[in-house]
Amino acid sequence: MTRRFWVFIEQDHGEMHPVAAELLGVANCLVSEVADELKASGEEAIVEGILVGHNVDNVAKEALMYGAERIYQVDDPAFEHYLNRPYTEALTHLVEKHKPEVFLIGATTLGRDLAGAVATSVKTGLTADCTKLEMGPFRKIEKKLLLATRPAFGGNVIATIVCKDHTPQMATVRPRVFETPVRNPKAKGEIIQESFEVTPEMMAAQLVEFITDQTASLNLEYAEVIVSGGKGLGNPKGFDLIKELADELGGVVGSSRAAVDGGWIDYAHQVGQTGKHVRPKLYVACGISGAIQHKVGMQDSDYILAINTDPQAPIFEVSTLGVVGDLYDVIPEMIKQLRAQKGASA
Amino acid sequence: MEKNTQKRKLPQVYIDDMLMSLKYFTDEQELHLAIIDPAVCQTCEDQPCIQFCPVGAYRAQDGRTVQIAVQSCVECGTCRVLCPYLNVSWKNPRGGFGVSYKFG
Amino acid sequence: MSKDKLKYDVIVVGAGMAGSTAAAIAAREGLNVAIIERGVKPGSKNYFGGALYTHALVDIYPDFFDRKPPLERPVTETGFWFLSDDGLVKATVQGGVVNSDPIDAYVALRAEFDLWWAEQAVAEGAFIIPKTLVIDFLYEDGKVVGVKTDRPEGDVYAPVVIVCEGVNNLLTQKLGLIDHDIKVSKTALAVKQLISIPAKDINARLGLPDNNHGMAISVIGDVSMGLAGLGFLYTANSSLSLGVGVTLDALQESGIKPYELLQRYLEHPAIAPLIKDGQMMEYGAHLIPEGGWTTMPRLYTDGVLVAGDAASMVNALHWEGTNMAITAGKQAGLTAVEAHKKGDFSAKSLSTYQDKLSDLFVLQDLKQYRKFSAFLKNHPQFMDIYPTFINDALGMFFTGFGKPKRKLYKDILRSLTSRRPLFKAIGDIIAFGRSIIGI
Amino acid sequence: MIHLLVSVKQVPDTTNIRIDPETGSMIRKGVPAILNPYDAHAVASAAEWKKKLGGKLTVVTMGPPAAEEALQECIEMGADRAVLISDRAFAGSDTLATSYVLAEAIRKIDQEDHVDLVFFGKQAIDGDTAQVGPGVAIRLGLPLVTYAVDIQEINEEENFALIVRKTESGKEIIKTSLPAALTAEKAIADIPYAALPDLITSLKYKPEVWSAQEPVAYDVDQIGLGGSPTMVAKSGSPEAHEPAETINVEENGLAGAVETALGKMLSNTSVAALLEDQQ
């Protein structure tokens, strides 16, 4: 019997979503964690990608390069745009046909409701927004189970959840929680076309119009890059430097409450408990000590760079990377090197 | 008790750490506090609202105008009573909104 | 929704100590009573030090303790702590008179207790309308016949309205029962922190034998940095309530930020060890009306009675506010019942409310203490010189080993006279006596 | 006449959670229970459409008796009928069991009076799983539109609805036949300030209480712990973040420190992608 570790390969108009690659990496780790059981039982384990869409052959090839050994591809015009019902029915059919042991799906807006529907349709357990996944023993159950760890009650409690005697054990994971595995362009693997008959009843909901959101005004809450200034700037003029770095990174200017208190910048820029909650991809905190009420407003950012003269500043507790130094030196140097890089690659 | 010589000074307090402990039902549609005439604040000598609001909801902006973080208010009334120019439009929040003490 | 008018026999504005009591008393006599509370639930807008006094609670519900009220620790030890800059003299009393059965005072947390207290009024038949703000009155030929709320279709009618809106008595002012807003010289701002500390640590650090013992302490001296005001410490079951109240004019003159004054009190060398490793559960602030007699509005007009903080019913020196509110609430409730029996809701008919209160401690005490807040303002020595002197005097007395005692007593006396000439100190004591006797 | 239904949940208010340091479990005392914020906006939207088109709004919740308060809040916002599904047998239900209980209850209500559109909040702020809505929709065979930020049209004659949903890359307008299901973002509707008579009605309203036996006879194997494949192996408070890796300007020199920092940032694919977009 083959132990199948599945990953849903999410794609958007033929573009593979990076979270799929991250989860293929995780799936291969899980397989390595059951190597001892495989040797003992003589069973085999395989990481397989599940791809649903229309004209998505290149996505299948791409997935093989990130560690999928086999792809089941359902390619049909009905699946060109994501709709919950047809996608759920197709996945349910594949699960019932191949009986995977573990099924990982990216916790994107698409993945979150697709996983909920599939888990219910297949009558199995699902753990959402996991921050850690591993195969491990649980009580007296003979085979290792998927131990899925996730935050609950607004991040105040961390729980490890198991799905016993139901398969597949399903879990969703937010993008960028796990590293992206190395892309191996020479990877080989099998792509199996699976057919699935979509009934009209499944197509009760249709996409009528799609409005891309480039024009979303760069307001703080939805900005992708935020460069924030705090008390460490010393005076209002400091925000000119912050603005320059923000423009260089294509971001917007934020601030801590202390800067707003000092009257250096308008209240609309304030990030924090009594200001705005933000989740940008990149948050650069300059001269911000990082008192708790500021951290609450920005700790969900994906990547946090903090620049502060004080190595003990609390901001370093939540940042991904810290530079200990005077921002009036560090920022101009950073702008210079960014421009140099742009110059080189332009 | 350790003996220290000079009189104990006033500690620096970051008011927002206090606010983290409070439960608010924030009224998205109506603000119950407002500055009646911002120009008056610019002439106000010591701006007591900023100094004595127990939750630091009043903040000086550039040019000595005053901004209110209304959602931090605990409806104590100090600003209304201390404002030398009666320049604060002070109302209780709409029913069900504002601070909601968990312990009290 | 039915279009006919919302009509009750009595409307009570505010579900605090006074409001819920008035509603319970009126409902008990068979009247159809509505309490209109602006908070999400009764208690969510109420805040105090503080302790509740058994005499008032039992007067409303004789079976009070059988109802299992949500009280914190009983107050088995109470008194003054005199804080100097870095020292402390504890003048507290326990046992004896304090050890009555049942105990005279219980520490409480208002969010939980006021909700329970309002539920007792509901059990008597009152109806609570939460999440609704009363913004004005409804009149018919000059007489109040109901209230206007801030909700659509929000008019509610009743021949008598009992206003228990609390210290910010905007409605009472709107009725013209008082011609001014609350005064900076007659109002204190109190700020407080409730700090969670395991019960066994509270008992160990404060010398309480078990969780069934508690403290209510008035803290005088360094806590208010010489400003006219008082600090306090109350022991809840597994948390400590520590705060300080200072009159607004003194605070304004000092330029001190209220939360910095509180933090300084919490960092006092004698206080900090009590709250070590404690977790702050809630910070809050509230005004306390200290004008008493001198800022009391007229207590009644056509169709309206006023009770509680809205009527300045607080005796700051004795930390009496909630019991006055409960007592006044009861008399207001009874007055409403009588008015219904007489079918006369005029000011004259409702004036019996004032007469009832005059025979009780509420108005008597407030009248007697009418000069006290002015006294405090003019005698700052009670807030810094005398507490520090008491610390020095007792400190020297109990460490005067090997010192010629004649010199010791001279030093003790000089530690007073160096700060305040003797005849002035005596004058202060006399002035204190007069202000609390009310002559 | 339209019949709309909203599935709601009463949740502990997680913005004020305190964790008992010893046991690592949540301290319940002093933590108010509230109507899940996303559900409140869903009810507000359903109430708007019920008033506009004329019809009935039913709300349903699965929870302890105290959840009655959350249902009263829905009546205040304009719901006409509230059903509380409460039974000890449901204790410990995970999302699979929960979606079974809710789906069967909605099926029963639909038999009495056909339901045109089922609303869910996007997610519950205590569990944050966002699985119950999709689970119930698939069990009832309803087309599902998630992350709805606006309902443009509900057309009873031609039996369709136009719903706008928000995704990372933009906004989609979905046309779905009725009956259907949607999960709502807060933007779908503002919460009204109820008229006093509605508030008073809600205070006196007693919801219908359904048990595990009637009026729906639930299959015991699909509810409670027995019906829940997932269970909590262990839980505790999050370990403190260890401080970030820091580069010191003094030690590495200004240019060197910034270069290393930029290098590390660019090794992160999403940051690298971001910076390329700016070229």
pLDDT for position D154: 97
Please write the tens of the pLDDT for every residue from A175-214: 767 778 999 999 999 999 999 999 998 999 999 998 876 5
A135/A115 Cα distance (integer angstroms): 20
CATH number of the domain enclosing D149: 3.40.50.620
Q: In the predicted model, is pLDDT for residue C130 greater than 60? A: yes
Do D220 and D248 belong together in one domain?
no
Range of the domain at D279: 243-279
Within chain D, residue ranges assigned H as helices are: 37-53, 68-76, 95-112, 132-140, 196-204, 249-252, 254-266, 269-277
Query: Chain C residues with CB inside 8 Å of B93's CB?
Result: 38, 133
Q: Looking at the 3D structure of chain C, how many domains does it have? A: 3
Please write the tens of the pLDDT for every residue from C103-124: 999 999 999 999 999 999 999 9
**pLDDT grade, residue A275 (50/70/90)?**
low
Q: In the predicted model, is pLDDT for residue D48 greater than 60? A: yes
Do D263 and D195 belong together in one domain?
no
Subunit contact D195:C128, Cβ cutoff 8 A: no
How much is the pTM? 0.85
pLDDT for position D29: 67
Distance in angstroms between the alpha carbons of the first and the last residue of chain A: 54
Query: Chain A residues with CB inside 8 Å of B62's CB?
Result: 236, 263-264
Would you say residue C96 lies in a domain? no
User: HSE (CB half, 13 Å, CA atoms) of C80?
Assistant: 17
Structure tokens at C399: 């460490």
Q: In the predicted model, is pLDDT for residue A290 greater than 90? A: no
**Going by C-beta distance under 8 Å and a sequence separation of 6 or more, which residues neighbour residue D215?**
D108
Please write the tens of the pLDDT for every residue from C404-414: 999 999 999 99
CATH number of the domain enclosing A78: 3.40.50.620
Q: Which residue in C109, C138, C153 has the most chain D C-beta atoms within 10 A of its own C-beta, making it the best mutation to test that interface? A: C153
Whether a cis peptide bond, with omega within 30° of 0, leads into C387 is no
**Going by C-beta distance under 8 Å and a sequence separation of 6 or more, which residues neighbour residue D143?**
A83, A84, A85, A204, A205, D137, D176, D177, D180, D181
C200/C210 Cα distance (integer angstroms): 8
Do C61 and C142 belong together in one domain?
yes
Q: In the predicted model, is pLDDT for residue A158 greater than 90? A: no
CA-based torsion, A101, A107, A108, A109: positive or negative: positive
The whole-number average pLDDT for the span C256-277 is: 95
Range of the domain at A153: 2-203
Do D161 and D212 belong together in one domain?
yes
A4/B86 Cα distance (integer angstroms): 73
CATH number of the domain enclosing C205: 3.30.9.90
**pLDDT grade, residue C436 (50/70/90)?**
confident
C145/D88 Cα distance (integer angstroms): 49
Do D199 and D160 belong together in one domain?
yes
Would you say residue C94 lies in a domain? no
Range of the domain at C170: 6-72+108-182+292-358
Please write the tens of the pLDDT for every residue from A2-11: 999 999 999 9
Do A229 and A174 belong together in one domain?
no
Subunit contact A261:B60, Cβ cutoff 8 A: yes
**Going by C-beta distance under 8 Å and a sequence separation of 6 or more, which residues neighbour residue B100?**
B23, B24, B25, C39, C40, C41, C44, C45, D32
pLDDT for position A295: 76
C268/C85 Cα distance (integer angstroms): 8
**Going by C-beta distance under 8 Å and a sequence separation of 6 or more, which residues neighbour residue D172?**
A81, A207, A209, A210, A211, D164, D165
Q: Which residue in C48, C185, C259 has the most chain B C-beta atoms within 10 A of its own C-beta, making it the best mutation to test that interface? A: C259
Q: Looking at the 3D structure of chain A, how many domains does it have? A: 2
Task: Decide if D98 contacts D62 (C-beta within 8 A).
Answer: yes
Domain boundary among C333, C358, C383: C358
pLDDT for position C1: 45
Please write the tens of the pLDDT for every residue from A238-247: 899 999 999 9
ipTM of the complex: 0.83
Do D79 and D216 belong together in one domain?
yes
Would you say residue C79 lies in a domain? no
Other CB atoms within 10 A of residue C420 CB:
16
Q: Which residue in C17, C35, C44 has the most chain B C-beta atoms within 10 A of its own C-beta, making it the best mutation to test that interface? A: C44
pLDDT for position D239: 66
Would you say residue A97 lies in a domain? yes
pLDDT for position A301: 85
pLDDT for position A1: 83
C-alpha radius of gyration, chain B, whole number: 16
Do C113 and C20 belong together in one domain?
yes
Low-confidence stretches of chain B (pLDDT < 50) are 1-5
Domain boundary among C358, C383, C409: C358
Do A194 and A278 belong together in one domain?
no
pLDDT for position A217: 40
Domain boundary among A175, A203, A231: A203
Do D151 and D48 belong together in one domain?
yes
Would you say residue D89 lies in a domain? yes
Domain ranges (residues) in chain B: 33-92
Query: Chain A residues with CB inside 8 Å of B19's CB?
Result: 273-274, 293
Would you say residue A212 lies in a domain? no
Range name among A291-305, C20-34, C182-196, D145-159 with the lowest pLDDT average: A291-305
Nearest CA in chain B to C273: B1
Residue type, C214: G
Three-state secondary structure call for residue A195 = coil
Burial letters for D4-27: b for 16+ Cβ neighbours within 10 Å, e otherwise? bbbbbbbbbbbbbbbbeeeeeebe
- Mean of pLDDT over chain C: 94
Question: Among partner residues B29, B94, B102, which is closest to D30 by beta-carbon distance?
Answer: B102
CATH number of the domain enclosing C163: 3.50.50.60
Task: Decide if D1 contacts D54 (C-beta within 8 A).
Answer: yes
Question: Among partner residues B2, B95, B100, which is closest to C132 by beta-carbon distance?
Answer: B95
The whole-number average pLDDT for the span D136-147 is: 94
Do D95 and D19 belong together in one domain?
yes
Domain boundary among C269, C289, C309: C289
Q: What is the least distance, in Å, from the CA of D34 to any CA of chain A?
A: 14
Subunit contact B8:C86, Cβ cutoff 8 A: yes
pLDDT for position C292: 87
Residue type, A188: K
Q: Subunits with at least 3 CB pairs below 8 A relative to chain D? A: A, B, C
What is the DSSP code (8-state) at residue A179?
P
What is the DSSP code (8-state) at residue A48?
E
The whole-number average pLDDT for the span A75-79 is: 94
Do A255 and A169 belong together in one domain?
no
Q: Looking at the 3D structure of chain D, how many domains does it have? A: 2
Structure tokens at C339: 């008015």
Please write the tens of the pLDDT for every residue from D167-224: 877 789 999 999 999 999 888 999 999 999 999 999 999 999 999 999 999 999 999 9
Do A158 and A233 belong together in one domain?
no
Higher pLDDT, D167 or C148: C148
Would you say residue C316 lies in a domain? yes
Do D271 and D177 belong together in one domain?
no
pLDDT for position D19: 59
The secondary structure of C242-279, three-state, reads EEEEEEHHHHHHHCCCHHHHHHHHHCCCCCHHHHCCCE
pLDDT for position B1: 44
Do D115 and D28 belong together in one domain?
yes
Query: Chain C residues with CB inside 8 Å of D196's CB?
Result: 6, 129, 132, 149, 151-154, 156
Would you say residue D6 lies in a domain? yes
The whole-number average pLDDT for the span C31-59 is: 96
The whole-number average pLDDT for the span A64-89 is: 94
Order of strands, sheet of C6-7, starting from the edge strand that comes earlier in the sequence? C6-7, C155-157, C143-149, C134-140
Residues facing C320 on adjacent strands: C315
CB-based contact (8 Å) between B102 and chain D?
yes
Task: Decide if A267 contacts A260 (C-beta within 8 A).
Answer: yes
Residue type, A125: G
Do A195 and A65 belong together in one domain?
yes
pLDDT for position A342: 79
Structure tokens at A328: 């009036």
The whole-number average pLDDT for the span D59-76 is: 95
Higher pLDDT, A296 or C50: C50
Q: What is the least distance, in Å, from the CA of D116 to any CA of chain C?
A: 25
Question: Among partner residues C132, C196, C279, which is closest to D196 by beta-carbon distance?
Answer: C132
**pLDDT grade, residue A105 (50/70/90)?**
very high
CATH class of the domain defined by B33-92? alpha beta
Would you say residue A287 lies in a domain? yes
Structure tokens at C362: 């509420």
D22/D13 Cα distance (integer angstroms): 22
Give contacts of B 7-46 with C, CB under 8 A: 7-13, 15, 18-19, 21-22, 25, 46
pLDDT for position A215: 41
- Mean of pLDDT over chain A: 88
